[in-house]
A and B are shown apart, each in its own frame.
Chain A
């Protein structure tokens, strides 16, 4: 039993290629993959940054060919159309295979653990990936393509991700502008539920910030934008109210959090307006986050008492610092992943030793029983003597096999394990027909007399 992972991610393939492999319902693909002989179990991970298929196979090379062929010609068409070799060669001048990576056994295990732990993510430590991997696993279980090996692999991956998150600071410190803005607001306000936010602009930054603020329980939000229509579109999606920029002075007085991101030549919030607004707020603090370039808020506004002003450089500096800190944690996370990989490989190795252990025990028991029956037939034994003979033969077999079986179990996850298993199968004739073994090779020499 072997593990194989074939896939592409943000480092190996451009976004226009990855999006062609985006898949909403992986069930048909998984069913198709496990229908053949090459693959016994399969899980498909599909996120915006990666498409990977992890399989358990009896034949790695056959499975690799199957998966590459699957990526190249059999991938189900998504909303962006199908991927495929022809499209890839036409668009990128390279075959799909050139954008795929292949990991086998230990490498595949480590990769799955690293993906689940967000070490391999574009934004290291991002929290969404674990949920996406869990979804992929659930889909595979529902599709019936996930057996005991991959189940165990993914359960261990989830446990590893949990360890990484709790034992390192890989997920600490926000790295997105929106998240940093929310953290900043939380340093001023204890409870966002009773607070009002004013978002000036209707672009991506404002959208991301609004989503982050609402995700943290923001009570009330208002959007102000030059184009009222765009503001209304955004407001409708988030269930908030929209205004034109002319309502700004009134809205500013009510807002505890002001976030601006509009393209303007002159600041939309100057010192005079800010002083006038604050007078109406009776000294209640206000957080102003200016994400506009050129700046939307005059820098002098930050000098006013009870105003906490931050611009895009302030936030960018923190984002870089936090990203660096997360990168530093990658080494610690890597050590946890390595330890967990070893544990999993140990389990997998033990699983591989099981057939040999089972066959050896069965062969020994068959021999014991045959010899016991032959002896009982020849000797005139009462019940007590018969029980004693049975106990003695069992004990003898058990003692003889104790050391070999222990070694087979113990070495199962090491290189010697494979050699030992092979030796055991040859020495004890485990792959030979059972019939001749007990009567010919092990005949009692005393029978000759």
Chain B
């Protein structure tokens, strides 16, 4: 298992570096190779996950570092899907590096510190972690596309984009990534929240215990509900959409991780 994780981390790092080289040199071939690298890394990490959960004593699902690696893996899969169709090497480079950091962090973690999941919860913890992670990774990709959109927008407005030797991702491509990720990520986050409530009920007998994590996650979900409503009714321009995607993901990260850390 560890070997696959190590190999995945190395391949992600190599892919990130290759993507950067592809941009700097610039070389279409190297940029394309970085995408193949991300595919290989995702396959290796997928095998690592499969091996991990087929083991006699699987590690806890609720561990943040493991969840981070899972979210990164899903983000890589989503990114490869988009980058295969559009000019998004810079985004792929960032995702490659982020995936490397998360997988590397999971390698450094001491397995004995994992929190065990209670047996009577059944399949709800699994469903919650998988669905919420998928939602978070997609909304993370939307947020990342939003950041890049705002950077490119500024460059184009200030006319600095004209002087650049290598064209960056187009605004339209970044907007498409943002919209598609939001469209898929929000329902998954909703399902993640619903399965989290079912897990809560199976353990404590109540759907909503009112803990800080639950409250803030619910507020983040309401925020995204508003974003989705405004975006898909065509009431928001592409730049504003990018800005709200970034704000939404910052808020979601705080709700899911920050609240726990502050507590």
Contact = CB atoms under 8 A, between A and B. Distances in A.
A391 interface: no
B236 A187 contact: no
B162 A184 contact: yes
B237 A186 contact: no
Contact of B157 (A183, A190, A308, A318): A308
B54 interface: no
A173 B164 CA distance: 9
Given A190-B87, A283-B240, A308-B157, A173 B165 contact: yes
Contact of A190 (B86, B161, B240): B86
A434 interface: no
A284 interface: yes
A188 interface: yes
Nearest to B174: A190
Nearest to A318: B162
A306 B238 contact: yes
Interface in A126-176: 172-173
B258 interface: no
Contacts of A317: 162
Interface in B215-256: 234-241
Contacts of B165: 172-173
Most chain A Cβ neighbours within 10 Å, of B86, B87, B156 = B156
A233 interface: no
Contacts of B159: 310, 314
Q: Considering residues B87, B156, B162, B237, which has the most beta carbons from chain A within 10 angstroms of its beta carbon?
A: B162
Contact of B237 (A187, A306, A321): A306
B171 interface: yes
A191 interface: yes
B133 to A, nearest CB: 29
Contacts of A189: 170-172
A322 to B, nearest CB: 9
B148 to A, nearest CB: 12
Interface string A299-312: 00010011010100
Nearest to B85: A190
Contacts of B238: 283-285, 306
Contacts of B240: 283, 305
B87 A314 contact: no
Contact of A302 (B157, B163, B236): B157
Nearest to A184: B162
B24 to A, nearest CB: 13
B258 to A, nearest CB: 31
A305 B162 contact: no
A190 B173 contact: yes
Contacts of A188: 156, 170-172
Contacts of A183: 167
Contact of B171 (A187, A314, A315): A187
B contact face: mostly helix, strand, loop, or mixed: helix
Contacts of A314: 159, 162
Interface size class of A (residues with CB under 8 A): 20 to 34
A187 B240 CA distance: 18
A237 interface: no
A186 B163 contact: no
A356 to B, nearest CB: 47
Interface in B162-217: 162-163, 165, 167-168, 170-173, 176
Given A173-B165, A318-B162, A282 B170 contact: no
A190 B162 contact: no
Interface in B91-129: none
Interface residues of B, number: 25
Contacts of A172: 165
Interface string A177-211: 00010011011111100000000000000000000
Interface string A279-298: 00011110000000000000
Nearest to B236: A283
A283 B237 CA distance: 4
A19 to B, nearest CB: 35
A190 B234 contact: no
A284 B240 CA distance: 11
Nearest to A303: B157
Nearest to B175: A285
Given A187-B156, A282-B237, A283-B237, A318 B170 contact: no
A112 B262 CA distance: 72
B86 A308 contact: no
B35 to A, nearest CB: 16
Contact of B170 (A187, A283, A284, A321): A187
Nearest to A313: B159
A190 B176 CA distance: 10
A305 B237 contact: yes
Contacts of A186: 167, 170
Interface string B72-98: 000000000000001100000000000
Nearest to A311: B159
A186 B152 CA distance: 12
Contacts of B162: 180, 184, 310, 314-315, 317-318
A191 B237 contact: no
Given A172-B165, A173-B165, A306 B239 contact: yes
Contacts of A187: 152, 156, 161, 167-168, 170-171
B14 to A, nearest CB: 24
A282 B233 CA distance: 10
A190 B82 CA distance: 12
Contacts of A184: 161-162
A382 B173 CA distance: 89
B239 A318 contact: no
Contacts of B234: 282-283
Chain B CB count within 10 A is highest, among A184, A190, A284, A308, for A190
Contacts of B239: 283, 285, 305-306
A285 B236 CA distance: 12
Contacts of A283: 234, 236-241
11 contacts: A186-B167, A187-B168, A188-B172, A190-B173, A283-B238, A285-B237, A285-B239, A305-B237, A305-B240, A306-B237, A308-B156
4 tightest A-B CB contacts, nearest first: A283-B237, A190-B173, A190-B172, A190-B170
Given A283-B234, A285-B171, A305-B240, 19 more contacts: A183-B167, A184-B162, A187-B152, A187-B156, A187-B170, A187-B171, A189-B170, A189-B171, A189-B172, A190-B86, A190-B172, A283-B237, A284-B238, A285-B238, A308-B156, A310-B159, A314-B159, A314-B162, A318-B162
